[in-house]
Amino acid sequence: MAVKYRKLILGAFIAICSLGVYLHQPVSATEQSDKPIHMEISPTKQKLKLEKGQSFVSSFKVRNIGTEKFSYNVSAAPYTVVDENYESNYKNSSNTYSQMANWVTFDEKLKEGTLEPGAYVDVPFTITVPKDVASGGQYAAIMAKTSDGNNPDSIIKTVNSLAMILYADIAGNTRTGGSVINNNINSFVFQPPISAIATIENTGNVESTATCIMKVWPLGSNETVFNNEDSQGRFIDIIPETRRFNVISWNGAPSLGIFTVEQTIEFLGQTSTVKKLVIICPLFLLIIFIVVIAALIFWIIFRIVRRRKDKNINQEHNEKERRI
């Protein structure tokens, strides 16, 4: 009897949550700001292999994608990150791995100028690597800035800037090392999105790249509803002697449902995989469910007690009849 009631409760819960698959409505994309983006820099990063004493020449584009002309200037800055969340830091730093900004020079004729709407400029730059530099990773940011568009009467002036990150490996005594510190998926969420989190540590002296892939299947289905396997976002760059926290989210998840979620992380020949059953259930619905289950349990207990009482009464009645 107890097994029967447990199956009844479990079946009711699964039936309610499974409705999320059918009640799912696509989540609209976040509305973009009406404020136009005037400047674009491309590419957003370059990965380089450099030799000591070498001069390396490359270039990048600064483009005006707005409707008004602007003036620009470019410069090099150190690139470091702040804590595991990898907030970019372009301020002066004594970090061993952020000296490359001092080695970058620009074509003086093109390092600043004016761009009309729709126009772009190729800006060459040269990296001259010192002969006595330590082997390993070096990181810098090429900054493109403009302060045009500010109200001339405004006391506060806004500087718009974009960055291209340079990842360089200086040949010599380089080493790789690190591990996946955390790979986890929350089994219960009150509202979308469904997310997989990871913390990855690089203990080497060169940048290393991890691959993080998340897949989502509805309960009882073999067809994925989310898979970032073909997305560039699956590649996570981790600079030396840092830990990086990463989140992959399925923002199109419904408000109610049961899904199988898997995250696989590949890093320096290591593979870490976690697979969990994830339930999305709004808090108010969870409260209703608890109330319903509590009422059902009370009803079951009441029925059991009532049956035992009726059984005892019947036994007493039968005993009396036998005595008569």
Percentage, residues of the chain above pLDDT 70: 83
Of 269, 146, 276, residue with least CA distance to 215? 276
Whether 33 is in a domain gets the answer: no
Domain termination site, one of 114, 136, 170:
170
- CATH code of the domain covering residue 217: 2.60.40.10
On whether the CB atoms of residues 126 and 105 are closer than 8 A, the answer is yes
Residues 99 and 151 in one domain: yes
Average pLDDT, the chain: 85
Residues 142 and 90 in one domain: yes
Indicate the number of domains in the chain. Answer: 3
Provide the pLDDT for residue 302.
86
Provide the pLDDT for residue 152.
52
Ramachandran quadrant class, 203 (left: phi over 0; alpha: psi -120 to 50; beta: rest): alpha
Whether 34 is in a domain gets the answer: no
Peptide linkage before 193 cis (omega within 30 of 0): yes
Domain termination site, one of 126, 151, 170:
170
The yes-or-no verdict on residue 68 having pLDDT over 90 is no
How many Cα atoms are found within 13 Å in the side-chain-facing hemisphere of 186? 15
Whether 71 is in a domain gets the answer: yes
CB burial string 122-161: b at 16+ within 10 A, e below: ebebebebeeebeebbbbbbbbbbbebeeeeeeeeeeebb
Residues 163 and 184 in one domain: no
How many Cα atoms are found within 13 Å in the side-chain-facing hemisphere of 59? 10
On whether the CB atoms of residues 252 and 194 are closer than 8 A, the answer is no
Residues 85 and 196 in one domain: no
Instruction: Give bridge partners of residue 167 from the DSSP assignment.
Output: 47, 139
Residues 289 and 268 in one domain: no
Provide the pLDDT for residue 21.
37
Burial class (CB in 10 A: 0-12, 13-18, 19+), 65: middle
Whether 37 is in a domain gets the answer: no
Distance linking the first and last C-alpha atoms of the chain:
35
Provide the pLDDT for residue 211.
98
- Residue 31 or 290, more confident: 290
How many Cα atoms are found within 13 Å in the side-chain-facing hemisphere of 120? 12
Residues 274 and 183 in one domain: yes
Residue 96 to residue 115: CA distance in whole angstroms: 36
Whether 139 is in a domain gets the answer: yes
Whether 190 is in a domain gets the answer: yes
Average pLDDT over residues 288-316: 83
Residues 164 and 84 in one domain: yes
- Residue 12 or 80, more confident: 80
Q: Global pTM?
A: 0.74
Lowest-confidence region among 178-182, 227-231, 274-278, 288-292: 288-292
Domain termination site, one of 170, 196, 214:
170
Lowest-confidence region among 54-58, 123-127, 129-133, 150-154: 150-154
Residues 159 and 108 in one domain: yes
Residues 94 and 154 in one domain: yes
Provide the pLDDT for residue 35.
45
On whether the CB atoms of residues 183 and 160 are closer than 8 A, the answer is no
Residues 66 and 164 in one domain: yes
Instruction: Please give the residue range of the domain that contains residue 6.
Output: 2-27+176-280
The yes-or-no verdict on residue 284 having pLDDT over 80 is no
Whether 231 is in a domain gets the answer: yes
154 token code pair: 């405004």
Whether 225 is in a domain gets the answer: yes
Residue 212 to residue 267: CA distance in whole angstroms: 9
**Distances in Å between the alpha carbon of 305 and those of 301, 315, 316?**
6, 15, 17
Residue 210 to residue 184: CA distance in whole angstroms: 16
Lowest-confidence region among 84-88, 153-157, 216-220, 287-291: 153-157
Residues 64 and 161 in one domain: yes
Residues 258 and 149 in one domain: no
Average pLDDT over residues 82-98: 87
Residue 124 to residue 221: CA distance in whole angstroms: 53
